[in-house]
Structure 1
Amino acid sequence: MLVFGHCFTKGNYTIDAALKGLCTEEEEELERTMMAYWANFARTGSPNGAGLTEWPRYGAEEEYMGLGVKRQMANG
């Protein structure tokens, strides 16, 4: 079970005790990546930034970014 951001709540919230040890290194990296995309989007209007997989603008091709432990582009 992945609760967004829980890997970084260590010692700060009661949820930490319930989720302790459930976050893998890959999940921590996913959480860091998602936080970076959201922060970039809030700051600039674009989720893209240094070190991140390019997130293309949504268009007629209906490409989307599949975010998981592995990032991938897909259509649908």
Structure 2
Amino acid sequence: MNNAIRALRAENGWSQADLADLLKVSRQTINAIETGRYDPSLPLAFAIAKLFSKPIEAIFTPDQEPT
């Protein structure tokens, strides 16, 4: 899954640690989500969308399948 978390976090001037604190997860979790090594749970994905005031579809997009 692709996501726009790194860009949204940068727009707000937040570090990974800042975002982790706001979401009550570890900085390592944020790093893993940003780099695509971990897909967040649905409750965490909704919390991220709410924090950035964006629809979940604006933050998370499925990987493109090869044609």
TM-score by length of 1: 0.25
RCO higher in structure (CA 8 A, sep ≥6): 2
Larger radius of gyration: 1
**Structure 1 or 2: larger strand share?**
1
TM-score by length of 2: 0.27
**Structure 1 or 2: larger helix share?**
2
